[in-house]
Structure 1
Amino acid sequence: MDDLENHFSLGRYWAQGDALSHAVAYVLLAMSLVSWYFILSKAFASWRVRRSADAVEAFWNAPTMGDGVALLDAADPERVYLPLAQQGAAQVDMVSKRTLAGGMDHAEQVTRVLRGAIHRSTIKLESGLTLLASIGSTAPFVGLLGTVWGIYHALSAVSSHGTVQIDKIAGPVGEALIMTGIGLMVAIPAVLAYNGFNRVNRLTLSELDAFAHDLHAYLTSAERARG
Protein backbone atom coordinates (compact mmCIF):
# COMPACT_ATOMS: atom_id res chain seq x y z
CA MET A 1 0.00 0.00 0.00
CA ASP A 2 2.82 2.39 0.80
CA ASP A 3 4.45 1.62 -2.55
CA LEU A 4 1.20 2.43 -4.36
CA GLU A 5 0.88 5.74 -2.54
CA ASN A 6 4.47 6.60 -3.35
CA HIS A 7 3.75 6.11 -7.05
CA PHE A 8 1.34 9.03 -6.93
CA SER A 9 3.23 11.35 -4.61
CA LEU A 10 4.10 14.89 -5.64
CA GLY A 11 7.68 14.28 -4.55
CA ARG A 12 7.99 11.37 -6.95
CA TYR A 13 6.47 13.43 -9.74
CA TRP A 14 8.96 16.22 -9.11
CA ALA A 15 11.89 13.81 -8.94
CA GLN A 16 10.93 12.16 -12.22
CA GLY A 17 10.10 15.39 -14.03
CA ASP A 18 12.44 17.07 -16.48
CA ALA A 19 13.11 20.74 -17.13
CA LEU A 20 9.84 21.28 -19.02
CA SER A 21 7.75 19.64 -16.29
CA HIS A 22 9.41 21.81 -13.67
CA ALA A 23 8.93 24.92 -15.83
CA VAL A 24 5.20 24.19 -16.17
CA ALA A 25 4.91 23.81 -12.40
CA TYR A 26 6.75 27.10 -11.81
CA VAL A 27 4.52 28.90 -14.33
CA LEU A 28 1.39 27.60 -12.62
CA LEU A 29 2.75 28.61 -9.22
CA ALA A 30 3.50 32.12 -10.51
CA MET A 31 0.02 32.35 -12.05
CA SER A 32 -1.55 31.30 -8.76
CA LEU A 33 0.42 33.82 -6.69
CA VAL A 34 -0.31 36.69 -9.08
CA SER A 35 -3.96 35.71 -9.33
CA TRP A 36 -4.47 35.59 -5.57
CA TYR A 37 -2.64 38.88 -5.10
CA PHE A 38 -5.06 40.61 -7.48
CA ILE A 39 -8.06 38.76 -6.10
CA LEU A 40 -7.35 39.87 -2.53
CA SER A 41 -6.32 43.43 -3.41
CA LYS A 42 -9.25 43.96 -5.78
CA ALA A 43 -11.68 42.44 -3.26
CA PHE A 44 -10.52 44.92 -0.61
CA ALA A 45 -10.69 47.83 -3.07
CA SER A 46 -14.15 46.80 -4.29
CA TRP A 47 -15.39 46.58 -0.71
CA ARG A 48 -14.16 50.12 -0.05
CA VAL A 49 -15.72 51.39 -3.28
CA ARG A 50 -19.12 49.91 -2.47
CA ARG A 51 -18.95 51.24 1.08
CA SER A 52 -18.28 54.77 -0.21
CA ALA A 53 -21.20 54.72 -2.68
CA ASP A 54 -23.54 56.22 -0.05
CA ALA A 55 -21.28 59.27 0.13
CA VAL A 56 -22.76 60.48 -3.18
CA GLU A 57 -26.06 61.14 -1.44
CA ALA A 58 -24.20 62.94 1.35
CA PHE A 59 -22.56 65.09 -1.32
CA TRP A 60 -25.94 66.33 -2.54
CA ASN A 61 -27.06 67.01 1.03
CA ALA A 62 -24.05 69.29 1.63
CA PRO A 63 -24.76 73.05 1.82
CA THR A 64 -22.10 74.03 -0.73
CA MET A 65 -20.05 72.43 -3.47
CA GLY A 66 -16.90 72.77 -1.37
CA ASP A 67 -18.52 70.98 1.57
CA GLY A 68 -19.70 68.21 -0.73
CA VAL A 69 -16.21 67.70 -2.14
CA ALA A 70 -14.79 67.58 1.39
CA LEU A 71 -17.33 64.89 2.36
CA LEU A 72 -16.43 62.78 -0.66
CA ASP A 73 -12.73 63.27 0.03
CA ALA A 74 -13.19 61.75 3.48
CA ALA A 75 -15.58 58.97 2.43
CA ASP A 76 -14.06 57.84 -0.89
CA PRO A 77 -10.61 56.34 -0.14
CA GLU A 78 -10.38 54.68 -3.58
CA ARG A 79 -10.93 58.06 -5.31
CA VAL A 80 -13.62 56.74 -7.65
CA TYR A 81 -16.42 59.26 -7.08
CA LEU A 82 -14.26 62.13 -5.83
CA PRO A 83 -12.66 63.12 -9.18
CA LEU A 84 -16.08 63.91 -10.68
CA ALA A 85 -16.93 66.24 -7.79
CA GLN A 86 -13.49 67.89 -7.94
CA GLN A 87 -13.71 68.44 -11.68
CA GLY A 88 -17.23 69.78 -11.29
CA ALA A 89 -16.13 72.18 -8.55
CA ALA A 90 -13.29 73.40 -10.76
CA GLN A 91 -15.83 74.30 -13.46
CA VAL A 92 -17.91 76.54 -11.22
CA ASP A 93 -15.52 79.49 -11.39
CA MET A 94 -13.72 78.74 -14.66
CA VAL A 95 -13.90 81.79 -16.88
CA SER A 96 -10.61 81.59 -18.82
CA LYS A 97 -10.91 81.65 -22.62
CA ARG A 98 -7.17 81.30 -23.30
CA THR A 99 -7.23 77.59 -24.13
CA LEU A 100 -9.02 75.43 -26.66
CA ALA A 101 -11.22 74.10 -23.88
CA GLY A 102 -11.92 77.64 -22.73
CA GLY A 103 -13.30 78.44 -26.16
CA MET A 104 -16.11 75.90 -25.68
CA ASP A 105 -19.36 76.92 -24.06
CA HIS A 106 -19.82 76.02 -20.40
CA ALA A 107 -22.03 72.96 -20.92
CA GLU A 108 -19.53 71.44 -23.36
CA GLN A 109 -16.65 72.09 -20.96
CA VAL A 110 -18.53 70.36 -18.15
CA THR A 111 -19.29 67.38 -20.40
CA ARG A 112 -15.63 67.09 -21.41
CA VAL A 113 -14.18 67.17 -17.90
CA LEU A 114 -16.78 64.81 -16.44
CA ARG A 115 -16.25 62.37 -19.28
CA GLY A 116 -12.50 62.46 -18.60
CA ALA A 117 -13.06 61.84 -14.88
CA ILE A 118 -15.30 58.85 -15.60
CA HIS A 119 -12.69 57.46 -17.99
CA ARG A 120 -9.95 57.64 -15.35
CA SER A 121 -12.19 56.05 -12.72
CA THR A 122 -13.08 53.27 -15.17
CA ILE A 123 -9.39 52.53 -15.78
CA LYS A 124 -8.83 52.30 -12.03
CA LEU A 125 -11.81 49.97 -11.52
CA GLU A 126 -10.82 47.64 -14.37
CA SER A 127 -7.12 47.41 -13.56
CA GLY A 128 -6.04 43.81 -13.11
CA LEU A 129 -9.16 42.29 -14.66
CA THR A 130 -7.47 41.54 -17.97
CA LEU A 131 -4.75 39.65 -16.12
CA LEU A 132 -7.30 37.62 -14.15
CA ALA A 133 -9.16 36.78 -17.35
CA SER A 134 -5.91 35.72 -19.02
CA ILE A 135 -4.93 33.48 -16.11
CA GLY A 136 -8.40 31.96 -15.97
CA SER A 137 -8.36 31.11 -19.67
CA THR A 138 -4.75 29.91 -20.02
CA ALA A 139 -3.99 28.08 -16.75
CA PRO A 140 -5.92 24.91 -17.73
CA PHE A 141 -3.96 24.70 -20.98
CA VAL A 142 -0.66 25.19 -19.18
CA GLY A 143 -1.61 22.33 -16.86
CA LEU A 144 -2.67 20.27 -19.88
CA LEU A 145 0.74 20.84 -21.42
CA GLY A 146 2.34 19.34 -18.32
CA THR A 147 -0.07 16.42 -18.49
CA VAL A 148 0.63 15.71 -22.16
CA TRP A 149 4.37 15.90 -21.56
CA GLY A 150 4.14 13.54 -18.58
CA ILE A 151 2.06 11.00 -20.51
CA TYR A 152 4.54 11.20 -23.37
CA HIS A 153 7.33 10.24 -20.98
CA ALA A 154 5.22 7.40 -19.56
CA LEU A 155 4.61 5.98 -23.03
CA SER A 156 8.27 6.38 -23.88
CA ALA A 157 9.15 4.34 -20.79
CA VAL A 158 6.71 1.61 -21.84
CA SER A 159 8.15 1.46 -25.36
CA SER A 160 11.69 1.18 -23.99
CA HIS A 161 10.73 -1.84 -21.83
CA GLY A 162 8.95 -3.55 -24.70
CA THR A 163 6.05 -4.76 -22.53
CA VAL A 164 3.07 -2.95 -21.03
CA GLN A 165 3.00 -3.20 -17.25
CA ILE A 166 0.24 -1.32 -15.47
CA ASP A 167 2.42 -0.54 -12.48
CA LYS A 168 4.97 1.05 -14.79
CA ILE A 169 2.53 3.47 -16.40
CA ALA A 170 -0.09 4.04 -13.66
CA GLY A 171 2.25 6.15 -11.56
CA PRO A 172 3.61 8.39 -14.32
CA VAL A 173 0.18 8.89 -15.90
CA GLY A 174 -1.44 9.67 -12.55
CA GLU A 175 1.33 12.11 -11.71
CA ALA A 176 0.95 13.77 -15.09
CA LEU A 177 -2.78 14.24 -14.54
CA ILE A 178 -1.93 16.17 -11.38
CA MET A 179 -0.86 19.06 -13.61
CA THR A 180 -4.32 19.28 -15.16
CA GLY A 181 -5.83 19.42 -11.70
CA ILE A 182 -3.43 22.13 -10.60
CA GLY A 183 -4.20 24.13 -13.74
CA LEU A 184 -7.91 23.99 -12.91
CA MET A 185 -7.23 24.97 -9.30
CA VAL A 186 -5.44 28.07 -10.58
CA ALA A 187 -8.06 28.94 -13.20
CA ILE A 188 -11.31 28.50 -11.27
CA PRO A 189 -10.69 31.18 -8.58
CA ALA A 190 -9.46 33.61 -11.26
CA VAL A 191 -12.59 33.14 -13.39
CA LEU A 192 -14.96 33.43 -10.42
CA ALA A 193 -13.18 36.56 -9.18
CA TYR A 194 -13.22 38.09 -12.67
CA ASN A 195 -16.98 37.62 -12.96
CA GLY A 196 -17.57 38.96 -9.46
CA PHE A 197 -15.46 42.08 -10.00
CA ASN A 198 -17.16 42.73 -13.33
CA ARG A 199 -20.53 42.74 -11.59
CA VAL A 200 -19.29 45.17 -8.94
CA ASN A 201 -17.81 47.40 -11.65
CA ARG A 202 -21.09 47.47 -13.58
CA LEU A 203 -22.90 48.71 -10.48
CA THR A 204 -20.23 51.31 -9.74
CA LEU A 205 -20.03 52.59 -13.32
CA SER A 206 -23.80 52.89 -13.43
CA GLU A 207 -23.68 55.02 -10.27
CA LEU A 208 -20.81 57.09 -11.69
CA ASP A 209 -22.78 57.76 -14.84
CA ALA A 210 -25.81 58.86 -12.82
CA PHE A 211 -23.60 61.05 -10.61
CA ALA A 212 -22.02 62.67 -13.67
CA HIS A 213 -25.44 63.30 -15.20
CA ASP A 214 -26.65 65.00 -12.02
CA LEU A 215 -23.47 67.05 -11.75
CA HIS A 216 -23.82 68.16 -15.35
CA ALA A 217 -27.40 69.24 -14.73
CA TYR A 218 -26.41 71.13 -11.59
CA LEU A 219 -23.43 72.90 -13.12
CA THR A 220 -25.16 73.91 -16.33
CA SER A 221 -28.24 75.14 -14.46
CA ALA A 222 -25.96 77.15 -12.15
CA GLU A 223 -24.36 78.71 -15.21
CA ARG A 224 -27.78 79.65 -16.58
CA ALA A 225 -28.68 81.19 -13.22
CA ARG A 226 -25.56 83.37 -13.29
CA GLY A 227 -26.26 84.35 -16.90
Structure 2
Amino acid sequence: MTPTADSTLGFGHFIAQSDGVGKALLVLLLLMSAASWALILAKGLAQALRSKRSTEFLNHFWNASTLDEVRAEIATHGARDPFSHLSAHALHAQAHHARHGAAKLAEAGTASEFITRTIKKVLDEETTRLESGLTTLATVGATAPFVGLFGTVWGVYHALLAIGMSGAGTLDKVAGPVGEALIMTGIGLAVAIPAVVAYNAFTRSNRVLGGRLDAFAFELHSLLTLGEAPGAGRPASAPPAVAPLKAVTA
Protein backbone atom coordinates (compact mmCIF):
# COMPACT_ATOMS: atom_id res chain seq x y z
CA MET A 1 0.00 0.00 0.00
CA THR A 2 1.43 3.39 -0.93
CA PRO A 3 2.09 6.19 1.62
CA THR A 4 -0.70 8.17 0.02
CA ALA A 5 -3.15 5.37 0.66
CA ASP A 6 -1.89 5.02 4.26
CA SER A 7 -2.50 8.66 4.90
CA THR A 8 -6.07 8.42 3.68
CA LEU A 9 -7.00 5.62 6.09
CA GLY A 10 -6.76 7.71 9.22
CA PHE A 11 -9.06 9.37 11.70
CA GLY A 12 -9.78 12.21 9.30
CA HIS A 13 -10.88 9.72 6.67
CA PHE A 14 -13.19 8.09 9.20
CA ILE A 15 -14.80 11.43 10.01
CA ALA A 16 -15.17 12.27 6.34
CA GLN A 17 -16.80 8.94 5.56
CA SER A 18 -19.16 8.97 8.58
CA ASP A 19 -22.78 9.85 8.08
CA GLY A 20 -24.88 12.10 10.30
CA VAL A 21 -25.42 9.43 12.96
CA GLY A 22 -21.70 8.68 13.26
CA LYS A 23 -20.77 12.35 13.50
CA ALA A 24 -23.53 12.99 16.04
CA LEU A 25 -22.24 10.13 18.21
CA LEU A 26 -18.71 11.49 18.00
CA VAL A 27 -19.86 14.97 19.02
CA LEU A 28 -21.81 13.43 21.91
CA LEU A 29 -18.72 11.59 23.13
CA LEU A 30 -16.63 14.75 22.89
CA LEU A 31 -19.22 16.67 24.91
CA MET A 32 -19.31 13.91 27.53
CA SER A 33 -15.52 13.98 27.74
CA ALA A 34 -15.43 17.76 28.09
CA ALA A 35 -18.09 17.69 30.83
CA SER A 36 -16.36 14.94 32.78
CA TRP A 37 -12.92 16.58 32.60
CA ALA A 38 -14.38 19.94 33.64
CA LEU A 39 -15.97 18.27 36.67
CA ILE A 40 -12.78 16.35 37.48
CA LEU A 41 -10.66 19.50 37.43
CA ALA A 42 -13.21 21.61 39.32
CA LYS A 43 -13.88 19.02 42.03
CA GLY A 44 -10.20 18.13 42.33
CA LEU A 45 -9.25 21.77 42.90
CA ALA A 46 -12.15 22.25 45.33
CA GLN A 47 -11.14 19.11 47.22
CA ALA A 48 -7.54 20.24 47.62
CA LEU A 49 -8.64 23.71 48.78
CA ARG A 50 -11.23 22.22 51.15
CA SER A 51 -8.66 19.89 52.69
CA LYS A 52 -6.20 22.73 53.27
CA ARG A 53 -8.80 25.02 54.85
CA SER A 54 -10.25 22.19 56.99
CA THR A 55 -6.81 21.39 58.39
CA GLU A 56 -6.19 25.04 59.23
CA PHE A 57 -9.55 25.45 60.95
CA LEU A 58 -9.29 22.22 62.95
CA ASN A 59 -5.81 23.16 64.15
CA HIS A 60 -7.16 26.50 65.34
CA PHE A 61 -10.29 24.92 66.84
CA TRP A 62 -8.53 22.30 68.94
CA ASN A 63 -5.83 24.74 70.06
CA ALA A 64 -8.32 27.42 71.12
CA SER A 65 -8.88 27.91 74.84
CA THR A 66 -12.56 28.88 74.58
CA LEU A 67 -15.35 28.71 72.07
CA ASP A 68 -15.28 32.51 71.93
CA GLU A 69 -11.95 32.21 70.12
CA VAL A 70 -13.59 29.86 67.64
CA ARG A 71 -16.39 32.36 67.11
CA ALA A 72 -13.83 35.11 66.50
CA GLU A 73 -11.96 32.93 64.01
CA ILE A 74 -15.15 32.21 62.06
CA ALA A 75 -16.20 35.86 62.17
CA THR A 76 -12.77 36.91 60.86
CA HIS A 77 -12.20 34.37 58.10
CA GLY A 78 -15.72 33.09 57.47
CA ALA A 79 -16.97 29.51 57.16
CA ARG A 80 -14.85 28.32 54.23
CA ASP A 81 -14.86 24.56 54.82
CA PRO A 82 -17.30 21.90 56.09
CA PHE A 83 -15.94 21.96 59.66
CA SER A 84 -16.14 25.72 60.09
CA HIS A 85 -19.55 25.72 58.42
CA LEU A 86 -20.79 23.12 60.90
CA SER A 87 -19.24 24.97 63.84
CA ALA A 88 -20.72 28.31 62.80
CA HIS A 89 -24.27 26.95 62.61
CA ALA A 90 -23.94 24.97 65.83
CA LEU A 91 -22.58 27.97 67.74
CA HIS A 92 -25.31 30.18 66.34
CA ALA A 93 -27.96 27.60 67.34
CA GLN A 94 -26.63 27.48 70.89
CA ALA A 95 -26.58 31.28 71.20
CA HIS A 96 -30.00 31.68 69.60
CA HIS A 97 -31.67 29.10 71.85
CA ALA A 98 -30.03 30.57 74.95
CA ARG A 99 -31.24 34.04 74.02
CA HIS A 100 -34.74 33.34 72.69
CA GLY A 101 -35.62 29.82 73.84
CA ALA A 102 -38.20 27.78 71.93
CA ALA A 103 -40.08 30.73 70.45
CA LYS A 104 -41.11 28.84 67.29
CA LEU A 105 -41.94 25.28 66.35
CA ALA A 106 -38.62 25.01 64.53
CA GLU A 107 -36.90 25.72 67.85
CA ALA A 108 -39.00 23.36 69.97
CA GLY A 109 -37.30 21.16 72.53
CA THR A 110 -34.26 21.58 74.69
CA ALA A 111 -31.10 23.35 73.63
CA SER A 112 -29.46 19.97 73.05
CA GLU A 113 -32.25 18.86 70.72
CA PHE A 114 -32.19 22.15 68.81
CA ILE A 115 -28.42 21.95 68.35
CA THR A 116 -28.73 18.31 67.25
CA ARG A 117 -31.30 19.20 64.57
CA THR A 118 -29.09 22.06 63.38
CA ILE A 119 -26.04 19.81 63.14
CA LYS A 120 -27.96 17.14 61.22
CA LYS A 121 -29.26 19.74 58.79
CA VAL A 122 -25.75 21.08 58.13
CA LEU A 123 -24.38 17.55 57.68
CA ASP A 124 -27.08 16.87 55.08
CA GLU A 125 -26.21 20.11 53.28
CA GLU A 126 -22.51 19.25 53.22
CA THR A 127 -23.22 15.74 51.94
CA THR A 128 -25.34 17.16 49.12
CA ARG A 129 -22.63 19.67 48.25
CA LEU A 130 -19.90 17.01 48.21
CA GLU A 131 -21.94 14.71 45.96
CA SER A 132 -22.74 17.38 43.38
CA GLY A 133 -21.44 16.39 39.95
CA LEU A 134 -20.89 12.73 40.83
CA THR A 135 -24.06 11.71 39.01
CA THR A 136 -22.67 13.19 35.79
CA LEU A 137 -19.38 11.31 36.20
CA ALA A 138 -21.23 8.06 36.91
CA THR A 139 -23.47 8.56 33.88
CA VAL A 140 -20.53 9.27 31.58
CA GLY A 141 -18.60 6.29 32.91
CA ALA A 142 -21.55 3.95 32.46
CA THR A 143 -22.83 5.10 29.07
CA ALA A 144 -19.78 6.26 27.09
CA PRO A 145 -18.58 2.71 26.21
CA PHE A 146 -22.03 1.84 24.87
CA VAL A 147 -22.24 5.05 22.86
CA GLY A 148 -18.88 4.19 21.33
CA LEU A 149 -19.98 0.61 20.73
CA PHE A 150 -23.10 1.81 18.97
CA GLY A 151 -20.94 4.03 16.77
CA THR A 152 -18.74 1.03 15.96
CA VAL A 153 -21.72 -1.15 15.05
CA TRP A 154 -23.12 1.63 12.90
CA GLY A 155 -19.79 2.16 11.17
CA VAL A 156 -19.21 -1.56 10.55
CA TYR A 157 -22.72 -1.86 9.13
CA HIS A 158 -22.08 0.87 6.58
CA ALA A 159 -18.61 -0.49 5.84
CA LEU A 160 -20.06 -3.93 5.08
CA LEU A 161 -22.73 -2.37 2.89
CA ALA A 162 -20.05 -0.54 0.90
CA ILE A 163 -17.98 -3.70 0.59
CA GLY A 164 -21.02 -5.66 -0.56
CA MET A 165 -21.90 -3.08 -3.19
CA SER A 166 -18.33 -2.93 -4.49
CA GLY A 167 -17.98 -6.72 -4.50
CA ALA A 168 -14.45 -6.53 -3.07
CA GLY A 169 -14.17 -8.50 0.18
CA THR A 170 -10.41 -8.95 0.42
CA LEU A 171 -8.54 -8.15 3.64
CA ASP A 172 -7.06 -4.92 2.34
CA LYS A 173 -10.55 -3.72 1.46
CA VAL A 174 -12.12 -4.78 4.80
CA ALA A 175 -9.36 -3.76 7.23
CA GLY A 176 -9.56 -0.02 6.57
CA PRO A 177 -13.32 0.59 6.94
CA VAL A 178 -13.74 -1.84 9.85
CA GLY A 179 -10.67 -0.48 11.66
CA GLU A 180 -11.96 3.06 11.29
CA ALA A 181 -15.33 2.01 12.68
CA LEU A 182 -13.61 0.47 15.72
CA ILE A 183 -12.18 3.90 16.53
CA MET A 184 -15.54 4.75 18.11
CA THR A 185 -15.11 1.98 20.68
CA GLY A 186 -11.69 3.34 21.59
CA ILE A 187 -13.07 6.85 21.94
CA GLY A 188 -15.89 5.57 24.16
CA LEU A 189 -13.41 3.84 26.46
CA ALA A 190 -11.15 6.89 26.52
CA VAL A 191 -14.12 8.97 27.67
CA ALA A 192 -15.41 6.45 30.23
CA ILE A 193 -12.22 5.38 32.03
CA PRO A 194 -11.23 8.80 33.48
CA ALA A 195 -14.83 9.39 34.57
CA VAL A 196 -15.03 6.04 36.39
CA VAL A 197 -11.65 6.50 38.09
CA ALA A 198 -12.54 10.03 39.20
CA TYR A 199 -15.97 8.93 40.45
CA ASN A 200 -14.45 6.21 42.63
CA ALA A 201 -11.77 8.57 43.95
CA PHE A 202 -14.24 11.34 44.81
CA THR A 203 -16.68 8.88 46.38
CA ARG A 204 -14.00 7.48 48.67
CA SER A 205 -12.79 10.97 49.58
CA ASN A 206 -16.35 12.04 50.41
CA ARG A 207 -16.85 8.94 52.55
CA VAL A 208 -13.70 9.68 54.54
CA LEU A 209 -14.65 13.33 54.98
CA GLY A 210 -18.17 12.33 56.03
CA GLY A 211 -16.77 10.10 58.76
CA ARG A 212 -14.52 12.88 60.03
CA LEU A 213 -17.46 15.30 60.01
CA ASP A 214 -19.61 12.88 62.01
CA ALA A 215 -16.88 12.47 64.62
CA PHE A 216 -16.36 16.23 64.80
CA ALA A 217 -20.12 16.83 65.08
CA PHE A 218 -20.28 14.47 68.08
CA GLU A 219 -17.45 16.32 69.81
CA LEU A 220 -18.91 19.72 68.96
CA HIS A 221 -22.33 18.75 70.29
CA SER A 222 -20.76 17.57 73.53
CA LEU A 223 -18.82 20.79 73.91
CA LEU A 224 -21.93 22.91 73.40
CA THR A 225 -24.28 20.89 75.61
CA LEU A 226 -22.08 19.30 78.30
CA GLY A 227 -19.30 21.83 78.46
CA GLU A 228 -16.59 19.21 77.87
CA ALA A 229 -15.51 16.71 75.29
CA PRO A 230 -16.53 13.07 75.83
CA GLY A 231 -13.95 10.85 77.53
CA ALA A 232 -14.02 8.12 74.89
CA GLY A 233 -10.98 9.58 73.11
CA ARG A 234 -10.25 12.16 70.49
CA PRO A 235 -11.99 12.07 67.12
CA ALA A 236 -10.16 11.47 63.87
CA SER A 237 -10.40 15.20 63.10
CA ALA A 238 -8.65 16.33 66.29
CA PRO A 239 -4.97 16.23 67.21
CA PRO A 240 -4.60 13.64 70.02
CA ALA A 241 -2.26 15.77 72.13
CA VAL A 242 -4.57 18.79 72.42
CA ALA A 243 -6.59 19.22 75.60
CA PRO A 244 -10.38 19.60 75.24
CA LEU A 245 -12.00 23.00 75.15
CA LYS A 246 -14.06 24.54 77.89
CA ALA A 247 -17.39 25.65 76.56
CA VAL A 248 -18.46 29.24 76.94
CA THR A 249 -22.10 29.99 77.52
CA ALA A 250 -23.49 32.31 74.92
TM-score, normalised on structure 2? 0.83
Asked whether 1:143 is paired with 2:144, we answer no
In the alignment, what sits opposite 1:46? 47
Query: Residues 127-182 of structure 1: CA distance to partner in whole angstroms, max 9, x if unpaired?
Result: 11111011011111111111000000011112212341322221111111111101
1:74 is matched by which residue type in structure 2? H
The one of 183, 187, 199 aligned to 1:182: 187
The one of 80, 83, 89 aligned to 1:81: 83
What aligned pairs does 1:126-137 form with structure 2 within 5 A after superposition? 126-137=131-142
Structure 2: how far apart are the matches of 1:76 and 1:45? 15
2:21 is matched by which residue type in structure 1? L
Distance change (3 Å), C-alpha of 1:52 and 1:165: same
Which has a greater percent of helix? Answer: 1
The one of 67, 71, 80 aligned to 2:69: 67
Q: Contact (CA 8 Å) 1:7, 1:171: kept in 2 or not?
A: no
Query: Residues 196-219 of structure 1: CA distance to partner in whole angstroms, max 9, x if unpaired?
Result: 111211121111111110111111
In the alignment, what sits opposite 1:58? 60
The RMSD of aligned alpha carbons is 2.2
The one of 103, 108, 113 aligned to 1:98: 103
Structure 2: how far apart are the matches of 1:92 and 1:61? 21
TM-score, normalised on structure 1? 0.91
Segments of 4+ in structure 1 off by > 6 A? 223-226
In the alignment, what sits opposite 2:174? 169
- The alignment of Structure 1 onto Structure 2 pairs a total of residues equal to 225
Asked whether 1:220 is paired with 2:225, we answer yes
| Structure 1 alignment gaps of length 5 or more | none
TM-superposed CA distance for 1:4, in Å, is: 4.5
